[in-house]
Amino acid sequence: MKTIRFFLLFTFIVVCSTLTFAQSTITIDASQLYTSFKFSDSQSNNLNAEYSGVYNSSYGIGFRYLTEFGLIIKPGVGLRKGGANLVYDEMNYSWELQYLEGKLGVGYIYITNRINPYFMASGYYGYLLGGTQVINNEDFNIKESELLNNMDYGLIFSPGVEFKLSPIFSTYIEFNYIWGLKNIEMDETQNASNLAYGLTLGLSLSISK
């Protein structure tokens, strides 16, 4: 939690000092994610390998502020799905989760001409809108049953490349590593957090010079 607070405070200070000189763009993107959980039991045994990932998606809209020397500030909101599968003691488990999340990122872009590589690090905070846990053929509503914590937060690391199509329009592609830091288990003797890898395609529209 201290890491997230420090990251957000640092980003806020940078935003305040650079926003006046920033170029603004609106971004819209969609991601294909491979999601799973990091999990340790009450004896602190790491059981990550027992979980198999599932393919999910996320969608987002944001604002990108770009300074003259390549600093990126990017707040945004979106919907992200998560989950995983598990086979344990001849029982089949699966989780399907959907989060509403806000993100605040900072990064650097190396501006050339048409092709501009960049790297972003973002903090995210998510709220569980709904979810289902399936045990064999029996479904459980995660929200109603309070099987998992509603809150989630963590970090997202995103190297990518922007392709300049015109002075106004650009597209970009980026790889995402989502590292959940919040224990979403209600049982405090266990620890589970979200984990995902993804590929994002996006479009940006300049609204200022």
**What span, in angstroms and rounded, lies between the C-alpha atoms of 40 and 25?**
41
What is the CB-side half-sphere exposure of residue 104 using CA atoms within 13 A? 14
Q: Quick check: is 36 in a domain?
A: yes
**What span, in angstroms and rounded, lies between the C-alpha atoms of 52 and 30?**
23
Summarised one tens digit per residue, pLDDT across range 16-53 is: 554 555 688 999 999 999 999 998 877 777 878 888 89
Q: Quick check: is 14 in a domain?
A: no
**What span, in angstroms and rounded, lies between the C-alpha atoms of 37 and 113?**
40
Specify the higher pLDDT residue, 209 or 157: 157
Among 32-46, 48-62, 108-122, 160-174, where is mean pLDDT lowest? 32-46
Q: What is the arithmetic mean of pLDDT over 176-190?
A: 91
What is the token pair recorded at 193?
A: 């957090």
Is residue 117 a contact partner of residue 124, using CB atoms and an 8 Å limit?
Answer: no
Residue-number span of the structural domain to which 64 is assigned: 26-206
**What span, in angstroms and rounded, lies between the C-alpha atoms of 164 and 116?**
8
Q: Quick check: is 119 in a domain?
A: yes
Q: Quick check: is 20 in a domain?
A: no
**What span, in angstroms and rounded, lies between the C-alpha atoms of 156 and 74?**
12
Q: What pLDDT is attached to residue 20? A: 52
Does 12 score more than 70 pLDDT? no
Residues 6+ apart with CB under 8 A from 199: 31, 32, 173, 174, 175, 176
Give the total number of structural domains in the chain: 1
Q: Quick check: is 141 in a domain?
A: yes
Q: Quick check: is 16 in a domain?
A: no
Tell me, what CATH number does 81's domain have? 2.40.160.20
What is the token pair recorded at 28?
A: 């819209």
β-pairing, 138-141 vs 115-135, is antiparallel
Is residue 198 a contact partner of residue 178, using CB atoms and an 8 Å limit?
Answer: yes
Amino acid occupying residue 181: L
Q: Quick check: is 143 in a domain?
A: yes
Q: Quick check: is 19 in a domain?
A: no
Band (pLDDT 50/70/90 cuts) for residue 196 is very high
